[in-house]
């Protein structure tokens, strides 16, 4: 039988009015950000990994500006 930790929810994601997104993640231990890369001319992306005690959530953020993505910083808790 699986342990209690294996059954815990890693993240709860909610979409609101097709314009807003909220993510609840408990016990975050770190956030890692990859190196921004150009996907197509004028479209940039970066990978963000949110690490918690029960698992990880990976997001890919896109932007029309490299400068906007450069402001996102990795953290360690």
- 41 pLDDT more than 90: yes
What is the pTM assigned to this prediction?
A: 0.71
* CA-to-CA separations, 33 to 12, 17, 36, 45, 47, in angstroms, rounded: 21, 28, 9, 11, 6
- 77 pLDDT more than 60: no
Query: Which of residues 1 and 8 earns the better pLDDT score?
Result: 8
pLDDT of residue 1: 46
Query: Which of residues 18 and 15 earns the better pLDDT score?
Result: 15
């Amino acid at each position: 039988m699986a342990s209690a930790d294996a059954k815990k929810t890693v993240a709860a994601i909610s979409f609101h009015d097709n314009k807003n997104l909220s993510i609840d993640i408990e016990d975050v231990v770190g956030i890692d950000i990859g190196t921004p890369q150009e996907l197509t001319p004028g479209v940039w992306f970066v990978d963000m990994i949110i690490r918690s005690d029960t698992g990880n959530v990976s997001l890919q953020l896109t932007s029309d500006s490299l400068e906007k993505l450069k402001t996102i910083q990795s953290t360690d808790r």
